[in-house]
Amino acid sequence: MSLPLPLTLAARLTPVVVLAVAGWAMTSGPLAAAPSAEPEALRETVAPSPSPSGAASQAAPTTYTTAPEPCEALTEETVSSLVPGAEPEGKEIPSLDASVRRVCSWNALDGYEYRWLDISFEVARSDEAARTSYEERAEERSGGGEVPGVGDAAYSVVNLTEEDGQETREGAVLVRVANAVVVVTYDGSDFETGKAPDTEEINKGAILAAKEAVEALGDADSG
């Protein structure tokens, strides 16, 4: 969905207020994706399945039984570095089932430089289900590469888009850790020049956030 007014034109009319509202709308407001259903592979596995009458469940134990608090995943220093001017506590986005999927968002306008960052924790019923979800997402975001040393598997990709002369660069990092999937998206635009931050800045920022998110996942209660 596009905004009623091109971002570049809005920037020249009311640079701070309009852009701040536009950014909120794209990430946490009415233009953001609604609390979407979990990815199919994840949704199918977290749905409870009844055990045979009188028989004990034979399901393998999982490492994680609930999604951790996403807005506590990053240090205040990291938030300040990646999203200058953002409130360090972030804003949690409503989810259909907070026990298996939780998302936190940070966004702010610093001068004409805009940044927004989302972190999602998703917990599947099994390692195999998490692996399927991870692999499907990585396949959808082609053109990236593996990130060594992060979780059981990690994938990073950066893409550049342009609309009405305004560039936006988005980095995405997917990480699988046992039966959990961490998804980080990190976007940036410069509404004064119409350009986007360079690929290295966005990629490094997304990977930094992903590493901290994985640490937070490791600190969460496990089953």
**Domains of the chain, first to last:** 36-45+62-219 (3.40.1000)
Residue 109 pLDDT > 60, yes or no?
Answer: yes
Q: CB burial class (10 A; 0-12, 13-18, 19+) of residue 141?
A: middle
Instruction: State residue 59's pLDDT score.
Output: 57
- At residue 30 the predicted structure's pLDDT band, cuts being 50, 70 and 90, is very low
Instruction: State residue 127's pLDDT score.
Output: 97
Instruction: State residue 43's pLDDT score.
Output: 45
Give the residues across from 3 on adjacent strands: none
Instruction: Over range 66-86, report the average pLDDT.
Output: 96
Instruction: State residue 95's pLDDT score.
Output: 84
The average confidence (pLDDT) of the chain is 80
Instruction: Over range 116-133, report the average pLDDT.
Output: 97
- At residue 96 the predicted structure's pLDDT band, cuts being 50, 70 and 90, is confident
- At residue 146 the predicted structure's pLDDT band, cuts being 50, 70 and 90, is very high
Instruction: State residue 196's pLDDT score.
Output: 98
Instruction: State residue 60's pLDDT score.
Output: 66
Q: List the one residue out of 172, 166, 163, 179 whose CA is nearest residue 199.
A: 172
Residue 40 pLDDT > 90, yes or no?
Answer: no
Residue 190 pLDDT > 50, yes or no?
Answer: yes
Instruction: State residue 22's pLDDT score.
Output: 45
Instruction: State residue 44's pLDDT score.
Output: 42
- At residue 221 the predicted structure's pLDDT band, cuts being 50, 70 and 90, is low
**Which residues 6+ apart lie within 8 Å of 8 measured at CB?**
164, 165, 166, 191, 194
Q: How far is CA 49 from the centre of its chain?
A: 28
Instruction: State residue 55's pLDDT score.
Output: 41
Residue 180 backbone dihedrals phi, psi, to 5 degrees: -120, 150
- At residue 182 the predicted structure's pLDDT band, cuts being 50, 70 and 90, is very high
| Cβ burial 146-175 (10 Å sphere, 16+ → b, else e) | ebeebbebbbbbbbeeeeeebbbbbbbbbb
pLDDT digits (tens, 9 = 90+) for 168-177: 999 999 999 9
> Whole-model pTM above 0.85?
no
Instruction: State residue 162's pLDDT score.
Output: 97
